[in-house]
Structure 1
Amino acid sequence: MIRRIAFPLLKGTYSRQAHADLPEQGVFEREVSREGFYGPATHLHHKHPPTGWCAWSGEHRPRAYNLLKLPNAQSSPWDAPLLFHNAHCQIRFWQCNGNMQTLVRNADGDDLIFIHQGHGELFCDYGHLSVEQGDYVLIPRSCLWRLEPTKPMTLMMIEASNDYYGLPDKTIVGQHAIFDQAVLDTPEIDDAYLQQQNEQPWQIIIKRFNQQSIITYPFNPLDVVGWHGDVSVVRLNWLDIRPLMSHRFHLPPSAHSTFVTSRFVVCTFVPRPMESDPGALKVPFYHSNDDFDEVIFYHQGEFFSRDNIEPGMLTFHPCGFPHGPHPKAYRAGCQSQRKETDEVAVMIDTRDGLAIGSSMPDVEWAGYVDSWKE
C-alpha cells in the first residue's frame, strides 16, 4: 500500500478556508487535487486567472461538441456514435426514433442511460417501465431490453466496461441525502409486459468485446412471469435529486456524485440556490484535477460557469491543465449577480484517460479553447 505524503504547509499569502475569503481582490485560487476531489489538495493563489492563456497548440486541449449534429437514428444502440472510450468506459449518443425490432444485450458491462429528449416504454428481463426525459436508467450487464418510443428519444449511454454501477458513500449526511433509495423505480410484470410476449421469432443483438453477434429465438425471450432478488433495471429522474448545498462554501463536484464504478464517477448538477455568504466563491473554482478526465453533457438550462454552451452540447477537459469558469461568469459570480442556478448537466469523471471517437471532429466547436480569453 502507498502511504501518501500528507502534511499541511503554509507559504506566502493564503486564505484560511478554501474557496472563501480569498486574500485580496485580484487573487485567483486554483485547487490542485489528487484522486478527483476526494484526495489531498493544495490551493494556489495566482495573480492572473489560471485559464488566461493567449495561445494553444497541439491536440491535448479543452474541447466542446454539439452532439445534436451527430448522425441520426441508428436501429441498434451498439451502432450509435462512440463519443469517448477507454478500457473501463464507453460513452455513446443514440437517437432512437422508432420501436426497436430486435432485443439487445450488453455482455461487456452495465449501461447507464440518460434520456435527454423524448419518452417511451422499456421492456426488459425484469418487466415493463415507462421512461421519460431526464431519467437515468441503469441496465445491468447482459440484461435483455428494447425501447418503444412514444416520442423520438435522444439518449446518452455510459458503459461501465467489465464493471458495475453502485451508489456513492454518503457518509455523514446519511443514506437518505441527495436522493432516498425509495425514489428509485423498477420494472413491473404488468399487463403491457405480458401482452408483448408472443410466439413470433425474435432476434437478440449481443455486444461482446465490441463485436456484435445475433441469436434468433422462435419466440419472444422476454417471457418472464415473475422474479425476486436485488439485481434489476433501476430508474432515477434528476427531479428526484436534492443537491447538497452550503451558503458559505462552494461544494466540489464530488458532492454531486450520483453513480460510481471502480474507475469513474457520474455526477449530476441540478438547480440550486447560489452561495450567499459575501466571502464565498459563487462559481466553480479553478482546479487542476490531475488524476481524472472530465466530460460534461449539458441537458437543459444555462450552465452558469460557461458561455455559448447550449443543451445538447458536451465539453471535454482532459487532465494536464487547469480549467474553470469563463471570465464573464467569474465576474458575475464575484458580483453576486445570480441567486440560483438553473442548469441540469451530467458529468463523467474517469480515472483513466479517454480517447476521442472518430465522429467527434465533425461536430466540434474549434473555438472553445479560446473561449477563456477576455
Structure 2
Amino acid sequence: MSGIEQARKTAEGLEYLSGFGNEHSSEAVPGALPLGRNSPQRAPLGLYAEQLSGSAFTEPRAHNRRSWLYRIRPSAAHPPFVRTDNGAVRTAPFTETVPDPNRLRWDPLPEPAPGTDWLAGLWTLGGNGDATQRTGMAVHLYHADVSMRRVFSDADGELLIVPEQGGLLLRTELGLLSVEPGEVALVPRGVRFRVELLADTVRGYVCENYGQPFTLPELGPIGANGLANPRDFRVPVAAYEDVEGGVEVVNKFCGNLWTATYDHSPLDVVAWHGSHVPYVYDLRTFNVMGTISYDHPDPSIFTVLTSPSDTPGLAGVDFVVFAPRWLVGEDTFRPPYFHRNVMSEYMGLIEGAYDAKTAGKGGFVPGGGSLHNMMSAHGPDRETFDRASAAELRPQRIDDGLAFMFETRWPVTATAQAANADHLQRAYDDVWQGLERHFRS
C-alpha cells in the first residue's frame, strides 16, 4: 500500500471524531496529551505546548475558537519569510475593476499547465470586503494535476474547499482529512496544511471567509432538528510528520504570499485539543426542509453554514447547498422563482444539472459558476420556465444534481482576470431571451 493510500485509509477510518464547534481532543501517541493543565512546566514526551487562537481571547465562550497543540518543535522556530509571486491569487479589497451589475457566468477553468499543484492552481474570481479588516470574502477556483510538496497557511481567513472533480487528502497540523466531490472541507484561519491529490487531476471551488468563522445557522421555528446536523461534521485524529530537512512553507498574509524554508515539517503536532479545528461535511447528509403545501421557500432554507455579521440575520457569507430533495408544492412554480435580492450570489455546480438552468455546452455545467450581484434580476432561463409552467404537478424527486451557493451581503467585484477570461460566457444574457409577453389588456 502506497503512502498516500495508507494516509487516505487513516483519514477515512472509524477513529474520526464527530461534532461541530465543540471541544475535541486527539493524540497520535498515547500519553502525549497532558491532563489537567494546557501548558505544564514540561509537556509530555518532550513536546512543546502551543496555543493556536482563531478568535480574540475575550470573545464569548460560545464563539471562542482555540486549540492547544503539543508539537515536536514550536511554530516560532522558523527563518524569516520573504515575498513570493502571488500567481493568480487576489485578495480584498478588490480594486482592479468596478462592481458589475450584469449577470455573469463562466465555464470551468481550463486545464492546468503540467506540474501545477493546488496552491499554484488557485485562481481568484472575485470578492468583497477587506482582508486586513477581517470583513468580506473571496471566491477562488482551483485546477491542479500534482500533489503539493510545500505547506500552506492562510492568515487572512478560513478556507471552505468544495471539490468538484477528484478527491483531496488534506494533511493538516491536526491530522488528515479526505474530501471527495459531494463533501466540503474547512481549514481554519492560520492552520497549516498540504493538499495531496487522490486523482490524476482535481478541480473545485474555494470560499475564503475573512469574517467571523462559519457556524451552523440558528434553526428558529424549524425547531431542534433539521438542516446540517452537528454530528455529521468530522474532525481529524492526530497524525504528525517527523521530517528533517528543507520544507517550503507559504503563508498568505494581507493578500500576499510569503515563503520560508524550514529545516523540518511544521505538520509535527503529536496531540491536540480544542475547537479551532479542520472538518469535513458530506453534503448528502443535509436534512432538507421545504414546503408540504404550496409556494416555494426562500433559498435560505438550504443554508449549511453561515458567517454572522454585526446585523442579526445578515450574513457576511452563507454557504448554501441544493441537495437531493422532493418537490411537492401545490399550484406552485417548482424551480427557483424569478427574483432580485439584496444579497449577492455566486453559484457553482458539483455534479449533474441545476433544476433552474439548462445544462450542456454553453450552459451551467459542473466546474462552472455564475455571479448575480445584489439586485441583479435572475431566475430560470426560458427553456426551464416553459418546461416548468407546463409540468404535471406531482411529487418530484430532485436527485440528479448537486449545486451550491456562496451568498454574501456585499457586491462581489470580479478580478480583472475573471472579467476578461476566455471562459467567461459573454452571451449569458441570451438565456432569458424569448420570455414572451402573454398578458393582454
Does residue 303 of the first structure (1) align with residue 361 of the second (2)? no
Aligned to 1:83: 125
Aligned to 1:50: none
Q: Decide which of 86, 102, 118 is 2:166's aligned counterpart.
A: 118
Q: How far is 1:80 from its partner?
A: 1.6
Aligned to 1:373: 433
Aligned to 1:47: none
- Report if aligned partners of 1:165, 1:259 keep a CA contact under 8 Å in 2: yes
Q: How far is 1:276 from its partner?
A: 4.0
Aligned to 1:98: 146
RMSD of aligned residue pairs (Cα, Å): 2.0
CA distances 1:184-216 after superposition (whole Å, capped 9, x unpaired): 111112xxx34x432222121000111111132
TM-score of the two chains, using structure 1 as the length reference: 0.78
- Report if aligned partners of 1:118, 1:132 keep a CA contact under 8 Å in 2: yes
Aligned to 1:318: 373
Q: How far is 1:359 from its partner?
A: 2.5
Q: Decide which of 322, 327, 339 is 1:287's aligned counterpart.
A: 339
Q: How far is 1:320 from its partner?
A: 3.0
CA distances 1:283-321 after superposition (whole Å, capped 9, x unpaired): 2111110x2211110111121111232212211111233
> 2:261 is aligned with what amino acid?
T
> Structure 2 vs 1, CA of residues 175 and 77 (structure 1 numbering), >3 Å: closer, same or farther?
farther
Does residue 227 of the first structure (1) align with residue 285 of the second (2)? no
Aligned to 1:340: 397
Does residue 254 of the first structure (1) align with residue 300 of the second (2)? yes
Separation of aligned partners in 1, 2:105 and 2:433: 16
CA distances 1:227-255 after superposition (whole Å, capped 9, x unpaired): 11122101101111121122323111100
Q: Secondary structure of 1:179's match?
A: coil
Does residue 163 of the first structure (1) align with residue 212 of the second (2)? yes
Q: Decide which of 203, 213, 216 is 2:248's aligned counterpart.
A: 203
Separation of aligned partners in 2, 1:214 and 1:105: 10
Aligned to 2:325: 272
- Report if aligned partners of 1:286, 1:325 keep a CA contact under 8 Å in 2: yes
User: Which aligned pairs between 1:46-85 and structure 2 lie closer than 5 A?
Assistant: 60-69=101-110, 71-72=112-113, 74-75=116-117, 77=119, 80-85=122-127
- Report if aligned partners of 2:227, 2:288 keep a CA contact under 8 Å in 1: yes
Q: How far is 1:120 from its partner?
A: 3.2
Q: Decide which of 383, 393, 398 is 1:328's aligned counterpart.
A: 383
Aligned to 1:143: 191
Q: Secondary structure of 1:366's match?
A: coil
Does residue 351 of the first structure (1) align with residue 397 of the second (2)? no
Structure 2 runs not aligned, ≥5 long:
1-98, 130-135, 310-315, 435-441
Q: How far is 1:117 from its partner?
A: 1.2
Separation of aligned partners in 2, 1:233 and 1:310: 29
Structure 1 runs not aligned, ≥5 long:
1-57
> Structure 2 vs 1, CA of residues 225 and 331 (structure 1 numbering), >3 Å: closer, same or farther?
same
Separation of aligned partners in 2, 1:270 and 1:240: 9
Separation of aligned partners in 1, 2:184 and 2:214: 12
- Report if aligned partners of 2:158, 2:209 keep a CA contact under 8 Å in 1: yes
> Structure 2 vs 1, CA of residues 119 and 313 (structure 1 numbering), >3 Å: closer, same or farther?
same
Q: How far is 1:140 from its partner?
A: 0.6
- Report if aligned partners of 1:70, 1:81 keep a CA contact under 8 Å in 2: no
CA distances 1:70-91 after superposition (whole Å, capped 9, x unpaired): 6556435266211111121111
Separation of aligned partners in 2, 1:59 and 1:84: 11
Q: Decide which of 128, 142, 153 is 2:202's aligned counterpart.
A: 153
Alignment: residue pair count: 311
> Structure 2 vs 1, CA of residues 331 and 254 (structure 1 numbering), >3 Å: closer, same or farther?
same
> 1:288 is aligned with what amino acid?
R
> Structure 2 vs 1, CA of residues 104 and 328 (structure 1 numbering), >3 Å: closer, same or farther?
same
Q: How far is 1:173 from its partner?
A: 2.2
- Report if aligned partners of 2:235, 2:278 keep a CA contact under 8 Å in 1: yes
Q: Secondary structure of 1:159's match?
A: strand
> Structure 2 vs 1, CA of residues 96 and 174 (structure 1 numbering), >3 Å: closer, same or farther?
farther
Separation of aligned partners in 1, 2:417 and 2:221: 43
Separation of aligned partners in 1, 2:168 and 2:364: 28
> Structure 2 vs 1, CA of residues 70 and 292 (structure 1 numbering), >3 Å: closer, same or farther?
farther
Separation of aligned partners in 2, 1:129 and 1:59: 37
Separation of aligned partners in 2, 1:321 and 1:223: 48
TM-score of the two chains, using structure 2 as the length reference: 0.67
Separation of aligned partners in 1, 2:260 and 2:357: 46
Separation of aligned partners in 1, 2:343 and 2:404: 16
> Structure 2 vs 1, CA of residues 126 and 59 (structure 1 numbering), >3 Å: closer, same or farther?
closer
Q: Secondary structure of 1:182's match?
A: helix
Q: Secondary structure of 2:195's match?
A: strand
- Report if aligned partners of 1:74, 1:80 keep a CA contact under 8 Å in 2: no
Aligned to 1:55: none
Q: Secondary structure of 2:327's match?
A: coil
Separation of aligned partners in 1, 2:264 and 2:236: 21
> Structure 2 vs 1, CA of residues 265 and 90 (structure 1 numbering), >3 Å: closer, same or farther?
same
